[in-house]
Structure 1
């Protein structure tokens, strides 16, 4: 019975691979042979184009052309060039996104700018909202938001004082209720679109609309959404967004993040890290700061050219396809893994920590288990790479551009084998590493 089940699942995987309209993208990535990489939701793999660009930038652009490359190879324009490429992936207008710094730094910028807008009583011209009152001091967020986002809001509150900025967190399911009940006190709503632990997706359009009805501005963190979920920032009238580029955008470890500012707010904002690259005339070297007109005003220091150039090349993997194709395969991979786990009869050994439907979660599946960390390490030893999130979550990511259905089947098969044998109880898998 077990052998028949395995054969049937493997045959289904082969059939799905044979009709995969993204299969041609697999060859654009460099991955270790025999490895099944289910951690693209944490660090996307190297693309062949990125590898070639890295060599070119180091040897030719930096090595031979030196400082001329700022103009010759358009280094100076990379933050905006990359920003516009990302804008196409997140449903944003041209010249609303710029690539810079990290999510945390960008979040500090837009939180500060949003609070200042509220303090100054500026009203968005394109929306019918109640008058903005100076008493708005609250940043509303999810209690289970990514910790760094929470820390940045806490740090800003410590800097400004709670009379100007106070973080308030509630359960994700209570965000809309909190807006309904206390919306007149909320200055900014700061939410992550896809929960990093369980993959649950928030309703961007409904929550953004409600925030605006209550006179609040909204910031979305797109770390686990950009490049794998259809997003419509312009259509949803989102005010600000931030996101990283080293997950589904495959920009490389520590790749610079991006920040989105709606056009309607670009003339109203003042961000606190007013560095020279955000100046209207950066190379005039004027004494006083004057912000650039567009999203470039969110820049601060000199852009990190090596990592930006690599990211620019990596984004080429999205050429010739659309985000709806990616989402379709994401759901299919996700659901197929869940189907394999159920048919291999190990689903009762785990507790599903996410929405039961692949249609209603991001490009990942999460399970809780008392030995989640050890299972993760055992899988890695068997060339299946997921990741672990404290305290007890085994998280598996499904990146549609480089994963096959047969790999997903094999990952489930290997998982079933090691949990049935309780191999994870070996002490070698239970010693915590510095990075989990």
Structure 2
């Protein structure tokens, strides 16, 4: 086998994530087009965009379970094929159904990228996993910056149709396909270190319960009757969460006899992803009356996130991952509350900057926590966390869309601040758990 080209594979992975990120910026820009030009309500747009998130989750879960069987290379080329089909279908979308189907393929492509590239980056850089995962994930906010600028330039300045914006995706798609072509891709870190598949499953804590819970979440996101039934009474979600927690306890402690650290991180990931992605996907509707282009706000937010992630190494080293996450939760809460009362360009920009610093480290550091503190969870652990984050967002999008239409954007932002408030408490607990674990290992 040829020698692994570490630099080329890392650049190819970043470009694949760039395609994923630009699709997010494009959706944030064109959601209004499907409301005004094609007659969809905000809630319908939210439901049509949801497959981009739960499709992501499906691909990540499937990739996590099977990546070591079918090999990383297969997942990479599956991502390429799904991206290609999804982009073509999005260009042809004109109604709810066609938009929905296009986002299914785009979601599957995006999820396959993360399912393949997160463990690939961790394998390529075994001594700097959290640092390099943050640098890899620079290209998510970085791609949104690029997509946001292109959206402003192509649609707002040149006045080209939205299809011209979507067509830009073919450029990074072709580049990452070229860079991956013919390259040897190493086995995942779990395989290389000799950890068995059974042991990987065991270290997830409660893999069966978590997987079934995510399937149920996907059903809630896509079947309106189930969603309406659950949201009709505030007691129902609490009861469902309680039942899931009991089954996780039984499977993790009674059957697998292992720490429930991973299920706890899984719970936190649901909230961190919803805080970040739910807000940025609805940025156009949330801030359209604040006297400044929402796409400028999106570029500012994601630009700050990109810079922060690139220089994350020293911060993670000084504070450790749980400390970074706790600070992020505090700043995210402050940012959402400030945005909920902001009026005018200056106040909105300042509030958005606080929010950006808050959500900056959430995603890569959460995956880094799994890789650093639960290493035997392997590629499956990273895939479950990424998938869970996106399926949670798919549930939040239609709820936020309905709230924007009924309660207004400022109330919606204020209500969203509840999520990082819960995370503040959760990350304090996570710090205590990890400190005790480290002390026990010394």
TM over 0.5: no
Q: Which has the higher strand share?
A: 1
TM tier, smaller = under 0.3
> Larger % of helix: which?
2
Under a length normalisation based on structure 1, what TM-score does the superposition of the two structures give? 0.28
Pick the structure with greater CA Rg: 1
TM-score by length of 2: 0.27
Higher relative contact order (CA 8 A, sep 6+): 2
